[in-house]
Amino acid sequence: MKRLSDIKFSTLDLVPVRENGSAAQSLRNSLDLAQHVEKFGYNRFWVAEHHNMDGIASSATSVLLGYLAGGTTTIRVGSGGVMLPNHAPLVIAEQFGTLESLYPGRIDLGLGRAPGSDQMTARALRRERSGSADEFPEDVTELMRYLGPRTPDQRIIAMPGTGTNVPVWLLGSSLFSAQLAGERGLPYAFASHFAPRFMHEAIRVYRNHFKPSAVLDKPYVMLGVPLVAADTDEQADYLATSVYQRILALMRGQSLVQRPPVKTMDGLWLPHEKEAVGDFLGLAMVGSPQKIRAKLEVLIEQTQADELIFTCDLYEHADRVHSYELLAQVMKG
């Protein structure tokens, strides 16, 4: 059985934009956070592709990764993830081949099959490309071919890209990518930070379908976990209201800019909305280090995950940094 100190821990940054803030400040905060968690001992720092969302500044994912990798020295940086239906596989191979050439051994390429946006935005992104999620398995194959060794009869190459063998992860919030990742022998990251209901089933499907590959000889599972760590449970509960407001806005189709914490959510949400936000954040670790340690030990016992990747969307940047610092102390035992 795995212990907490055996588990690798990482950061997923959604590059949040504050009320009355700017994308520029959010991007600078992302680099500052990456530099801090690198010192704290985190394994990797991922950012996710989102579009047409005023509260998330990570749309140009590969560009941002170059900025983050250039400002750090040892931590792995990568996409959590690139939404492959939005892109031609060759373009992504060239982008991540370039990153790997500049920062060798530090780049991860996590791939998702969702649009990362609404359908109108997806059409604006793709133009003539169909970008169907049904083509995802073939697109993954094509992309990995571009990143692999060049073959004598290969007529199209990614330059940079060919021969870089950038590590590819499959990401998912349903069972489709779990099965595909297992069959391809790829590492799998489940989006339990917003879809915890299917977590156990997705892990089971992935492990049951796993076939050893040149990449992995046994399954490797990473789970997304929302985080609000503070010195006391009461402070964490207060800071978490910013997260609750953001998820509530997402469900209502409102602006996703970060809002400051409030003393109480009473009057801000209806009973059914409170329940829905609670379901969305079912895996959230909110509290003091002692409380979070106890919850994490249960999670590891139940899932036997290999790695946890934490997302922490607090209003004050200093509170986010402190939250990740407290978590690192918990994970190291």
Mean pLDDT of 217-233: 97
Residue 127 burial (CB count, 10 A) = 7
CATH number, domain 4-232+284-331, options 3.90.1150.10, 3.40.50.1100, 3.20.20.30, 2.60.40.10: 3.20.20.30
Of the listed ranges 105-109, 118-122, 184-188, 295-299, the least confidently predicted one is 118-122
Strands 8-13 and 107-112 come out as unpaired
One DSSP character per residue, 135-169 reads GHHHHHHHHHHHHSPPPTT-----TTTTT----EE
Partners of 269 in the beta sheet?
A: 266
> What is the pTM for the complete model shown?
0.94
Could you tell me which of 193, 211, 189 has the C-alpha nearest to residue 202?
Answer: 189
- Read off the amino acid at residue 268: L
Counted residue by residue, the chain has a size of: 333
Partners of 11 in the beta sheet?
A: 45, 310
Q: What mean pLDDT, rounded, does the chain reach?
A: 93
Task: Please give the angle made by the CA atoms of 189, 279 and 228, to the nearest 5 degrees.
Answer: 70
Residues 286 and 48: their CA atoms lie apart, in Å, by 22
- Tokens encoding 42: 């985190």
3-state secondary structure labels for all residues of 114-136: CCCCCHHHHHHHHCCCCCCHHHH
**Domain boundaries in the chain?**
4-232+284-331
List pLDDT tens digits, range 249-275: 999 999 999 999 999 999 999 999 999
Residues 201 and 224: their CA atoms lie apart, in Å, by 15
Could you tell me which of 114, 102, 105 has the C-alpha nearest to residue 71?
Answer: 102
Using CA atoms of 99, 171, 249, 274 in order, give the dihedral in degrees to the nearest 10: -150
The pLDDT of residue 2: 85
Q: Look at the block and give the residue holding tokens 């399954």.
A: 219
List pLDDT tens digits, range 144-173: 999 999 998 889 999 999 999 999 999 998
Give 130's pLDDT tier (boundaries 50, 70, 90).
low
Collapsed DSSP state (helix, strand, coil) of residue 243: helix
Could you tell me which of 116, 115, 98 has the C-alpha nearest to residue 107?
Answer: 98
Could you tell me which of 240, 246, 333, 230 has the C-alpha nearest to residue 288?
Answer: 230
Kindly state the DSSP code that residue 309 receives in the 8-state scheme: E
Q: What are the residue ranges of helices labelled H in the chain? A: 23-40, 61-70, 89-102, 119-126, 136-147, 176-184, 199-209, 233-252, 271-280, 289-303, 317-331
Q: Look at the block and give the residue holding tokens 């602006």.
A: 255
Mean pLDDT of 193-219: 94
